Structure 1
Amino acid sequence: MTADSANKKRYYRKNVDFFKFVEKLKLWPSRAGTLHGIKSMIIRGNRAEVITHCNETFEILNSKHSRAARSLRNKLFFQACSNCKIPDWKLKKYSATYVNQNYGTRL
């Protein structure tokens, strides 16, 4: 990855489907403020089963107004999970991503 593409700002729409947004980012914030990397995601209707790289499995709901959705949009996390081993380039790309109401990719 070149230095120019790492600093490039990315814009996504705020009102896109939450599951598509999570699949694109491949990141999940825990309640404690730790950012986990997603290994796989199985969508079953309005729910999805998420498996992280540290082998945690949990079920999430398709809600744009949830705690996790707000955390992902506002980039609220304290640290990256040491077991997931999220690379630095991915954290830089995530920090350069902006979610906007009227501008950006519709995924």
Structure 2
Amino acid sequence: MAAKSGVALVADPSPEAAGKKKKYYRKNVEFFKLLEKIKLWPSRSGMLHGIKSIKITGDIAEVVTHCDEKFIVWNSRTSRAARWLRNKWCVCACKKCKIPAWKLEKYTSTMMTQKWGSNL
């Protein structure tokens, strides 16, 4: 056998390449775990808000956004907010919350699949 004189492949260490890596999460994961991981809240008008804090007590949670809005949320996988987060139906980001561009890019590159991905 002949010896191979190959070139070592090195991954691109630039931040642009790191941001394009896709994350995979399960589609039917518990809603509160998804909120704690993503830290984004979709409002009914189609805006994404950044979550400042989540206080979970049983099946109910109190969500406080960066623009000081408070919501009482039930733990439902089929709720409007859960579907909007999974399917990425939000139109724009809230200007008061000042969500960083890297967080929005990471959210848009995240894939929610039925049979593949992390259970959070």
Superposition TM-score, scaled by structure 1 size? 0.97
Identity of counterpart residues, as a percentage? 58
Q: Following the alignment from structure 1 to structure 2, what is the Cα–Cα distance between the partners of residues 6 and 82?
A: 22
Which one-letter code corresponds to 1:91 in the other structure?
L
For 1:61, the equivalent position in structure 2 comes to 74
Which one-letter code corresponds to 1:10 in the other structure?
K
Post-superposition CA distance 1:31-83 (Å, at most 9, x none):
00010000000001001000000011111110110111110001111110000
Offset, 1:15? 1.8
Which one-letter code corresponds to 2:109 in the other structure?
A
Aligned length, in residue pairs: 107
Q: Is 1:8 equivalent to 2:21 in the alignment? A: yes
Superposition TM-score, scaled by structure 2 size? 0.87
For 1:41, the equivalent position in structure 2 comes to 54
More strand by share: 1
Gaps of 5+ in 1: none
Higher relative contact order (CA 8 A, sep 6+): 1
Structure label with greater radius of gyration: 2
Moved over 3 A (4+): none
How does 1:1-107 map onto structure 2 within 5 Å?
Answer: 2-107=15-120
Q: Following the alignment from structure 2 to structure 1, what is the Cα–Cα distance between the partners of residues 74 and 88?
A: 19
Offset, 1:16? 1.5
Q: Following the alignment from structure 1 to structure 2, what is the Cα–Cα distance between the partners of residues 74 and 14?
A: 9
The root-mean-square deviation of aligned C-alpha atoms, in Å, is 1.0
